[in-house]
Amino acid sequence: MTLTQPLRLMGAPGSPYTRKMLAYLRYRRINYEFMLGDQSNEQGLPKPKVELLPTFYLPNDEGEIEAVVDSTPLIRRFEQAFSGREAIPSNPVLAYINYLIEDYADEWLTKSMFHYRWNYEADIKKAGSILPLWHGLQMGTEQHQKFSSSVADRQISRLYVVGSNDITAPVIEASYRRFLGIMDELIAHQTFVLGARPSSADFGIYAQMTQLAKFDPTPMSICLRDAPRVYAWVDVVDDLSGHVCEGDGWMSVEVVRDVLGPLLSEIGRVYAPALIANANALQAGNKHIETTIDGKPWEQPTFPYQGRCLSWIREEYQNLGTRDKAQVDLILSDTGCEELLR
């Protein structure tokens, strides 16, 4: 079914995936109508099978409007539907590296976001206070206090789902600090992950950093202290509707290993072993993961969605041609990411 503009979506400023999609749409110059929170209910729009933010309201094959979620496949759908200013490289090797980095941002960096927001008192206080007000600026003091407590209690109780606990905290926090250093060094030489134009990997990283660098006090202070360039980069990526690329804008495949080696090694250091341990536990029918990541213990419940993430990473690789696979193999060798493809 052909998509028409404006696209309609519902989300919230505190949702990194909402921010990811809004920034992507602005860069692509795709017109949209954005609804906050409960406005979609007021308009009688359908609910998704799994209520996630953002939710897009798009026609299905029969022309009926349905609620659609999950930013990664949505971006690929929009890349097919709308031409010009594409955010996924046409080169299959670059597209694969882009996919891997986007997945890392969506599924690993978000652990840092949840961890900092709901583990530290200043962060809990701010999020608990502000998040409810995005749903209703006119709510009274008593209602606001109840809503704030409810939001904080619910989210803190869910920390275990993303793997944030006393055992995993050192791994998550050390990884966040390393990522900041890697990203700060990268954008000192080029504006975007894959060169002179933004990719969906940039929007994935930007999404988590709108919260980590721009909203939550504890990770924000770390970012300002250790990686001020990253703090500024988030503002740059927020609205790229006027960004103009000279020529193709993507880096050449030949320099990917040199330029992105540190980032890929970080992915292989933490995200790859987490995905593999989760997949192994799921296959064994276990509901809990006990493994080692970066030389430290890691424990969390199994996560079926991330089991699918690993399958999709492998499917994307299998869809490559023989020569492209060889180039990806060379880029990923000795980063730890090559373990994802076994």
110 and 70 inside one domain = no
166 and 298 inside one domain = yes
- CA angle 120/153/289 to nearest 5° reads 75
39 and 183 inside one domain = no
pLDDT for residue 55: 97
Residue 110 domain-assigned (yes or no) = yes
325 and 254 inside one domain = yes
Among the residues of the chain, which ranges form H helices? Answer: 16-28, 39-42, 71-81, 92-104, 110-117, 121-133, 141-157, 159-162, 169-187, 200-212, 217-226, 228-238, 253-266, 272-284, 304-318, 322-332
> Is residue 241 predicted with pLDDT exceeding 90?
yes
54 and 102 inside one domain = no
Q: What is the DSSP letter of 57?
A: E
* Alpha-carbon span 4 to 204, nearest angstrom: 24
The predicted model gives 74-79 an average pLDDT of 98
Residue 19 domain-assigned (yes or no) = yes
**Lowest-pLDDT range of 34-38, 108-112, 152-156, 251-255:** 34-38
> Is residue 88 predicted with pLDDT exceeding 80?
yes
221 and 307 inside one domain = yes
Residue 133 domain-assigned (yes or no) = no
pLDDT for residue 90: 97
* Alpha-carbon span 35 to 331, nearest angstrom: 41
The predicted model gives 165-181 an average pLDDT of 98
pLDDT for residue 11: 96
Residue 172 domain-assigned (yes or no) = yes
Chain centre to alpha carbon of residue 198? 15
pLDDT-derived band at 24 (thresholds 50, 70, 90) equals: very high
pLDDT-derived band at 246 (thresholds 50, 70, 90) equals: confident
For residue 35, which phi and psi values (nearest 5 degrees)? Answer: -115, 135
Specify the length of the chain in residues.
342
Give percent of the chain with pLDDT exceeding 70: 98
The predicted model gives 140-167 an average pLDDT of 92
Q: List Cα–Cα distances, 229 to 109, 185, 189, 225, 342, in angstroms.
A: 18, 9, 11, 10, 36
Residue 140 domain-assigned (yes or no) = no
Residue 98 domain-assigned (yes or no) = yes
pLDDT for residue 42: 65
> Is residue 197 predicted with pLDDT exceeding 90?
yes
225 and 171 inside one domain = yes
pLDDT for residue 39: 67
49 and 113 inside one domain = no
> Is residue 38 predicted with pLDDT exceeding 90?
no
Q: What 3-state DSSP class applies to 59?
A: strand
Residue-wise pLDDT for 119-145, tens only, equals 999 999 999 999 999 988 888 999 999
293 beta partners: 296
Average pLDDT of every residue of the chain:
96
The predicted model gives 303-310 an average pLDDT of 97
300 beta partners: 289
210 and 298 inside one domain = yes
Domain count, the chain: 2
Residue-wise pLDDT for 40-59, tens only, equals 666 789 999 988 999 999 99
pLDDT for residue 147: 85
224 and 297 inside one domain = yes
pTM greater than the 0.95 cutoff: yes
69 and 206 inside one domain = no
> Is residue 75 predicted with pLDDT exceeding 90?
yes
State the residue range of the domain holding 212: 92-118+161-242+249-341
Residue-wise pLDDT for 257-298, tens only, equals 999 999 999 999 999 999 999 999 999 999 999 999 999 999
CATH of the domain at 36: 3.40.30.10
> Is residue 238 predicted with pLDDT exceeding 90?
yes
